[in-house]
């Protein structure tokens, strides 16, 4: 076994993703395509990319979802725990939708990624909101962050597990449902940006 293989979590750790063909996954948003890494073979437990500049787009998207789950107080620094949540989530999505969970995840990310936001410009003594386009890398970051925030918030003081809430959030976002936290946040940001054009 090589050193690389012992460090990573491989496809056998994601049996649900292994039984579906990753090459059949379609990324319709051409802006995000360059920044989405569909690799499920090299998902690492350690911080392989932590001290490297410009390594975010090389990191597998599933690993980035796991890392974003670690933002919340319950999972801070607990990557194995966050990994188990994501693994269970993909299994739930597979049972509920009977389709490729990776495609559902990609569709959710594409639908939750806002295209516009506002910034403040100062003219003399006043600040004026101005609509600006969002860079593709930031669009992806915002989508992943909002998906994770929404699922953790939904599981708080709820009988449903965080796995079930994350699965629901991804399924709703993949259908572009306004009930999804991430899609609602995206719509709010774009509505505010539209009024600030």
pTM value? 0.86
Beta-strand ranges (E) seen in the chain are: 8-9, 43-44, 116-123, 126-133
- 24 three-state secondary structure: helix
Q: What is the pLDDT of residue 110?
A: 95
Q: What is the pLDDT of residue 2?
A: 42
Taking the C-alpha atoms of residue 114 and residue 91, their distance in angstroms, rounded to an integer, is 27
Q: What is the pLDDT of residue 20?
A: 81
- 175 three-state secondary structure: coil
DSSP code for 35:
T
Range of weakest confidence among 21-25, 71-75, 132-136, 161-165: 71-75
Q: What is the pLDDT of residue 112?
A: 95
3-state secondary structure 75-86: CCCCHHHHHHHH
Q: What is the pLDDT of residue 13?
A: 64
> Could you tell me what percent of the chain has a pLDDT over 90?
46
Could you report the per-residue pLDDT of 184-197, keeping only the tens digit for each? 999 999 999 998 88
Range 120-125 average pLDDT: 87
CATH of 3-195, one of 3.40.50.2300, 2.60.120.10, 1.10.455.10, 1.10.579.10: 1.10.455.10
pLDDT at 75 over 90: no
If pLDDT is split at 50, 70 and 90, which confidence band does 6 have? very low
pLDDT at 11 over 50: no
> Could you tell me what percent of the chain has a pLDDT over 70?
91
Q: What is the pLDDT of residue 1?
A: 39
Q: Is the dihedral of CA 139, 170, 147, 21 positive or negative?
A: negative
pLDDT at 107 over 90: yes
Range of weakest confidence among 42-46, 57-61, 143-147, 154-158: 42-46
């Amino acid at each position: 076994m090589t050193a690389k293989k012992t460090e990573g979590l491989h496809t056998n750790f994601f049996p649900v993703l292994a039984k579906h063909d990753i090459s059949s996954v379609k990324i319709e948003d051409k802006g995000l395509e360059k920044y989405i890494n569909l690799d499920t073979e090299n998902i690492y437990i350690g911080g392989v990319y932590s001290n490297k500049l410009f390594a975010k787009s090389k990191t597998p998207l599933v690993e980035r979802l796991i890392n974003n789950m670690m933002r919340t107080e319950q999972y801070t620094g607990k990557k194995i725990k966050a990994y188990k949540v994501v693994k269970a989530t993909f299994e739930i999505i597979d049972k509920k939708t009977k389709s490729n969970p990776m495609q559902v995840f990609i569709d959710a990310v594409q639908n939750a990624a806002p295209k516009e936001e506002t910034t403040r410009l100062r003219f003399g003594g006043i600040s004026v909101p101005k609509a600006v386009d969002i860079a593709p890398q930031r669009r992806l970051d915002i989508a992943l962050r909002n998906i994770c925030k929404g699922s953790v918030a939904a599981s708080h003081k709820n009988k449903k597990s965080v796995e079930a809430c994350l699965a629901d959030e991804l399924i709703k976002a993949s259908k572009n449902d306004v009930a999804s936290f991430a899609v609602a946040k995206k719509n709010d940001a774009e509505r505010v940006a539209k009024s600030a054009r």
